[in-house]
């Protein structure tokens, strides 16, 4: 067997390759050297551990061929035998690298009964959470060899929410141990080899539309293709800050180019409003908004009925929901003693099956008026409030304590069947509540007026009048 020679990894690749975590995420932007890491690490493992079983997964087989198999075949010539029918490299020491794809849910059946010591899920956000978990379930065995799953990933795709939760937000279920997860952010600037060999690639990324540039160049996980509320910013927009000539830290201090801010004490003279979207098997969302003297709205509090599983409701009876809302409004210093106006989905007045949902609210002293449920005008009102005006401020802010609103809004996508509406199969319950509030206090679109430079008046009429 001939001797293999590998290039030295960059700092980020080295961190990934040396990690001992069970689940290791790597990426976040284009050109970060993810494919090299997958290929090099898988071969090194095969050489180090006789009999180790490795699987490299991608969404389609043509992607596997182009990005890995066609690259690794010349690399492993006279080192390992490749069986094209089985899509597998076999090493003399009994180690192997298997290539598998998962284009849809039916393809997960190909993983049944399989056991692998190490799995590389390449471009993991292209797969769904369910597909990723079914593939991950094959990472098992009693041979004493390391058991790890590597996820290379960029923002966007059907697995975006899951990958973002476990690696970026680090929010874990009771069955998940935080110490098992490590994420290494990799940017184009970390890949010195690519920057040296293709210096024009950075210029290409910098020339992309703002949304794609932020995802592909900066690796921002709160923006991606198909995002419904693409205006929404958890941190000050980098591009807008650069255009305004201020730092992101300064913009945050001035509440510019962001929608998420630190809570502050609400002045007692500001009115408070309540919006509500009912849910039982799905989450419910009750939200409290304060409005300042300029008409800017602030989401100051939230009661969100969700289990630790996204988009799964706590199944509270309506009486319990409204009794908890009433208790909060009696006790919270910003809410108690206020004459709070509430707006809700008109469907809670439905009496076709007996008592309406609203009847239970009235019993607890929680009062609503029917919200305007027009979807497209409602979404436009949300867009109008999220837009930044000439001062760099939106007309809607979220206190950073309202975590469920901040979690769900960036993940919502456009519908594939109604291109102007939101995909209602997602966790859109807070978004609906927000829409009812915005429709109850409509605003005009942001109009940014700039003074036009006045040239010399050829008739001198203006100057003579002055």
User: For the domain that residue 356 is a member of, what is the CATH number?
Assistant: 3.30.420.280
Res 80: pLDDT: 94
Residue 173's pLDDT is what?
83
Residue 180 resides in a domain: yes
Same domain, 184 and 270: no
Residue finishing a domain among 171, 197, 223: 197
139-145: Cβ within 8 A, 24+ apart: 140/115, 140/116, 141/53, 141/115, 141/116, 141/117, 143/51, 143/117, 145/49, 145/51, 145/52, 145/117
Question: What confidence score (pLDDT) does residue 211 get?
Answer: 61
In this prediction, residue 208 carries a pLDDT of: 65
Domain match, 167 and 19 both: yes
pLDDT at 194: 65
**Do 182 and 33 sit in the same domain of this protein?**
yes
pLDDT score of 367: 97
Q: Residues 199, 41: contact at Cβ < 8 Å?
A: no
Phi, psi for 322 (deg, rounded to 5): -75, -25
Amino acid 420: pLDDT:
83
Which pLDDT value is given to residue 122?
95
User: Is the residue at 307 inside a domain?
Assistant: yes
The predicted pLDDT at position 459 comes to: 41
Residues 191 and 50 in one domain: yes
pLDDT digits (tens, 9 = 90+) for 135-169: 999 999 889 888 999 999 888 777 888 898 899 88
185/49 same-domain check = yes
In this structure, is residue 139 part of a structural domain? yes
321, 180: one domain: no
Flag whether 2 is in a domain. Answer: no
8's CB contacts (< 8 A; 6+ apart) are none
In a domain, 233, yes or no: no
Of the residues 177, 197, 217, the one at which a domain ends = 197
Joined together, the tokens standing for residue 239 give: 């591009």
C-alpha distance from residue 416 to each of 43, 227, 410 (Å): 41, 12, 17
Residue 193 has a pLDDT of 66
Would residue 244 count as lying in a domain?
Answer: no
Q: Are both 114 and 34 inside the same structural domain?
A: yes
Q: Sheet harboring 181-185: ordered strands across? A: 81-83, 88-90, 96-101, 53-58, 118-121, 148-153, 23-27, 181-185
Instruction: Give the residue ranges of the chain where pLDDT is below 70.
Output: 1-2, 29-32, 192-195, 197, 208-216, 223-225, 448-466
Q: Are residues 96 and 192 in the same domain?
A: yes
161 in the same domain as 266 = no
For residue 380, is it within any domain? yes
Q: Cα dihedral sign for 189, 193, 199, 203? A: negative
Whether 190 and 276 map to the same domain: the answer is no
For residue 157, give Cα distances in angstroms to 63, 162, 224, 227, 279: 16, 10, 8, 10, 27
What is the pLDDT, as a whole number, of residue 451?
44
301 in the same domain as 414: yes
Residues 69, 74, 79, 81: is their CA dihedral positive or negative? positive
Q: Same domain, yes or no, for 274 and 415? A: yes
Q: Do residues 272 and 289 make contact, with C-beta atoms less than 8 angstroms apart?
A: yes
What is the C-alpha separation between 133 and 151, in angstroms, rounded?
Answer: 12
Here the CATH number for the domain that contains residue 104 is 3.40.50.300
The total number of structural domains that make up the chain: 2
Q: Which domain holds residue 140?
A: 11-197
Q: Which of 152, 182, 197 finishes a domain? A: 197
In a domain, 88, yes or no: yes
């Amino acid at each position: 067997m001939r001797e293999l020679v590998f290039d030295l990894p960059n700092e980020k690749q080295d961190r990934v390759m040396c990690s001992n975590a069970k689940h290791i995420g790597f990426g976040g932007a284009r050109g970060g050297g993810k494919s090299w890491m997958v290929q090099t690490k898988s071969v090194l493992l095969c050489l180090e551990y006789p009999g180790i079983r490795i699987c490299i997964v991608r969404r389609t087989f043509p992607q596997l061929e182009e990005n890995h198999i066609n690259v690794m075949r010349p690399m492993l010539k006279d080192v390992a035998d490749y069986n094209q029918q089985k899509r597998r490299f076999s090493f003399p020491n009994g180690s192997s690298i298997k290539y598998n794809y998962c284009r849809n849910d039916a393809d997960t059946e190909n993983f049944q009964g399989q056991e692998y010591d190490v799995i590389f899920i390449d471009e993991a956000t292209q797969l769904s959470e369910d597909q990723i978990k079914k593939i991950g379930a094959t990472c098992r065995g009693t041979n004493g060899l390391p058991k790890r799953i590597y996820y290379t990933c960029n923002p966007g795709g059907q697995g975006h929410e899951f990958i973002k939760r476990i690696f970026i937000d680090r929010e874990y279920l009771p069955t998940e141990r935080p110490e098992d997860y490590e994420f290494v952010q990799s940017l184009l600037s970390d890949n010195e080899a690519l920057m040296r060999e293709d210096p024009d690639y950075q210029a290409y990324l910098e020339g992309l539309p703002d949304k794609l540039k932020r995802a592909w160049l900066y690796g921002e996980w709160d923006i991606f293709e198909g995002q419904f509320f693409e205006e929404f910013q958890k941190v000050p927009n980098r591009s807008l800050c650069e255009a305004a000539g201020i730092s992101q830290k300064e913009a945050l201090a001035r509440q510019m180019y962001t929608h998420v801010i630190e809570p502050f004490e609400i002045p007692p003279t500001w009115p408070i409003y309540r919006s509500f979207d009912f849910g039982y098997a799905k989450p419910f969302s009750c939200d409290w908004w304060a409005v300042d003297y300029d008409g800017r709205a602030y989401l100051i509090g939230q009661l969100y009925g969700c289990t630790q599983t996204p988009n799964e409701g706590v199944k509270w009876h309506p009486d319990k929901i409204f009794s908890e809302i009433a208790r909060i409004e009696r006790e919270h210093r910003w809410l108690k003693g206020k004459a709070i106006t509430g707006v809700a989905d008109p469907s809670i007045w439905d009496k076709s099956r007996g008592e309406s949902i609203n009847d239970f609210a009235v019993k607890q002293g929680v009062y609503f008026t029917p919200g305007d449920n027009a979807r497209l005008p409602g979404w436009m009102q949300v867009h109008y409030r999220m837009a930044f005006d000439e001062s760099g401020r939106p007309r809607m802010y979220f206190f950073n304590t309202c975590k469920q609103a901040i979690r769900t809004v960036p993940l919502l996508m456009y519908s594939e069947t109604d291109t102007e509406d939101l995909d209602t199969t997602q966790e859109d319950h807070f978004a609906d509540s927000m829409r009812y509030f915005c429709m109850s206090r409509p605003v005009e679109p942001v109009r940014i007026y700039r003074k036009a430079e006045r040239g010399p008046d050829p008739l001198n009429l203006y100057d003579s009048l002055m």
